[in-house]
Amino acid sequence: MKFRLTLALIVCIISHGTSQEISDTSLGKGLINFTAKDSSFSIKFAPRFQVRTNASWDHDGNQYGSPEYNFIVRRARLKFDGFAYSPKLKYKIELGLSNRDISGANEFNRNTPRYILDAVIMWHFAKNWELWVGQTKLPGNVERVVSSANLQLIDRSLLNSRFNIDRDIGIQLRHKSKFGNQFLMREKLAISQGEGRNVTEGNEGGLQYTARIEFLPFGTFQSKGDYVQADLKRENRPKLMLGFTYDLNQDAVKERSVLGSYMFRSDGSLYETDIATIFADAMFKYKGFSFMGEYAKRTAENPIALDVDGSPTGDVVLTGNALNLQAGYLFKSNYEIAGRFTTLDFETVTGRLPREQYTLGASKYIVGHKLKVQTDLSYSTLDGNDDNITFRMGFDLHF
């Protein structure tokens, strides 16, 4: 009820503030851009949503069966950002409204919808230094940190869905150094709670430690394009980012580090084990061509969850490795074709079979990523046998 009242208040403020005025903003620049007269704060409000349809065919060993159809609102979000007191003190708030955005109610978040995606303060306290405090994405694999608003295929890869380290609440320290005229190095360190977003009870288990380093030998991308898929700016010089991440979740209590199910034991306590995840990734762009490559590996000290009597509970940490390769070419007409290959190889204790997926997609960027139509076709195999074909089409609108 309180959330609905908050939304109603936002709508009333927007209606009152814009009913008699013509704004000089444009599509993709935010529905509201406001700076206080005394420059003590600013706010940009930018809602967005994604709708899509899916059709999936499973192979039963002889032929493909009848397709299963699905129409969904994949994402519907409200984003606020700006600065407070000084331009050196920035903030970001992002709320999710779709079913998949708010799902995950449990006893550790008081069985409530998980509306908050991001709530983070970013303080530029010295030259080349920033301190982040709050809930936001950890500095993990590049594909996860790329916003879902800036994807060149309908959604992220299987590597990301199985091994990413997602969002958490804590602190991050970020620094960058420049060598010569172009070479840039960025370091990112994070200490977080280790249980994912919107946890209100506890801290169960230990803390999570994340370190990432990035190298940009040819200088920065246009418009932060190292974290935007597709070369919409058509870089006139080659641009490359190489990134490496190490993440340690001490005494983790979930099957996928900060994601997945809690590993309960028969007495109601939680099984704990150290989980380590590493990523190596790259982003390259040049004259409409883009390439992204990622490798992920997850290990656990004791991946099989044990009950109080030492017997297996049935829960197992999802360990293994994955490779994801993705490339696309943007034509001058703003049509793009893109392809992706992903392979997953799980450790034997998980009981999961290896999987491969091939995806071919096409996009029409009407106003860049802010207004676009996309479609893709994926072919998946499980251990080289059970096949699946999935067709997806989606529409994105970001104010």
- Cα–Cα nearest to 318, from 100, 109, 164, 137: 164
Weakest mean pLDDT among 2-11, 30-39, 277-286: 2-11
User: Which residues neighbour 360 within 8 Å (Cβ) at sequence distance 6 or greater?
Assistant: 337, 338, 339, 376, 377
Find the Cα–Cα–Cα–Cα dihedral 295, 299, 304, 308, rounded to 10°.
-140
Helix (H) or strand (E) holding 163: helix 158-163
**pLDDT one-digit tens code per residue, 40-75:** 999 999 999 999 999 999 876 667 778 899 999 999
Answer yes or no: is pLDDT of 384 > 90: no
Per the prediction, the chain carries an average pLDDT of: 93
Report d(CA 338, CA 374) in Å as an integer.
11
Report d(CA 235, CA 286) in Å as an integer.
5
Model's pTM, two decimal places? 0.92
Per-residue pLDDT at 1? 55
* DSSP secondary structure code for residue 395 in this structure: E
Per-residue pLDDT at 390? 96
Residue 10: phi and psi, rounded to 5, are: -60, -45
Answer yes or no: is pLDDT of 15 > 60: no
Per-residue pLDDT at 21? 56
Rg (CA), the chain: 22
Count of H helices and E strands in the chain? 4, 21
CATH topology for the 27-197+208-244+275-302+318-398 domain: Porin (2.40.160)
Q: pLDDT class for 8, splitting at 50, 70, 90?
A: low
Domain boundaries, the chain: 27-197+208-244+275-302+318-398
**pLDDT one-digit tens code per residue, 160-205:** 999 999 999 999 999 999 999 999 999 999 999 999 999 988 789 8
Residue with more model confidence, 21 or 396: 396
Query: Which pairing describes strands 371-382 and 32-35: parallel, antiparallel, or unpaired?
Result: unpaired
